[in-house]
Amino acid sequence: MIGLEKKINYQFNDKNLLETSLTHKSHSSPNNERLEYLGDSIINFYVAEKLFNLKSDLPEGKLTQIRASLVSRSSLNKIAHGIELDRYIRLGKGETTENNSIAGNAFEALIGAIYQDSSKESAYNLL
């Protein structure tokens, strides 16, 4: 997990949060679902705030469309695979991170874990 912390340039104070964020429900409980929920909200708010400030000429409907495309399962999976997050995800037997949303969900959980471990600013730094 040290390799992941170096890659994302964030050192966890509570290593249990990091471990939980990378634990898929097929592996064990506790798992990353609650952190995923939190991270999803943080990511959506971050992107909404950025779009609101950068695209002052766009109406709400267009901002919503852009945000949805940026925070899509496909986009989150690409980000997760880009930082090789799938190498660290703990899965149950027979599970894989290919052709599903497991890696993107773990990225959301990682953002939620950073937020819980430190602050909104720390989570935003990774985003």
Query: CB within 8 A of 69, min separation 6: which ones?
Result: 75
* Distance of alpha carbon 48 from alpha carbon 109, whole angstroms: 19
- Determine the pLDDT at residue 99: 85
Q: Is 108 a catalytic residue?
A: yes
Q: Note the pLDDT of residue 38.
A: 98
3-state DSSP of the chain: CHHHHHHHCCCCCCHHHHHHHCECCCCCCCCCHHHHHHHHHHHHHHHHHHHHHHCCCCCHHHHHHHHHHHCCHHHHHHHHHHCCHHHCCECCCCCCCCCCCHHHHHHHHHHHHHHHHCCHHHHHHHC
Please report which confidence band the pLDDT of residue 2 belongs to, taking 50, 70 and 90 as the band edges: confident
Reported as a single tens digit per residue, the pLDDT across 23-71 is 999 998 899 999 999 999 999 999 999 999 999 999 999 999 999 999 9
Is the pTM of the predicted complex or chain greater than 0.85?
yes
- Structure tokens that stand for 41 in this block: 């909200």
Q: Out of 5, 49, 86, 108, which one is annotated catalytic?
A: 108
Catalytic residue among 36, 40, 86, 117: 40
Task: Give residue 28's pLDDT.
Answer: 86
Give 58-117 pLDDT, tens digit per residue: 999 999 999 999 999 999 999 999 999 999 999 999 888 988 999 999 999 999 999 999
Task: Respond yes or no: is residue 14 known to be catalytic.
Answer: no
Confidence of residue 1 (pLDDT cuts 50, 70, 90): confident
Q: Is the peptide bond before 59 cis (omega within 30 degrees of 0)?
A: no
The number of angstroms, rounded, from the C-alpha of 123 to the middle of its chain's C-alpha atoms is: 9
Start-to-end Cα distance in the chain = 19
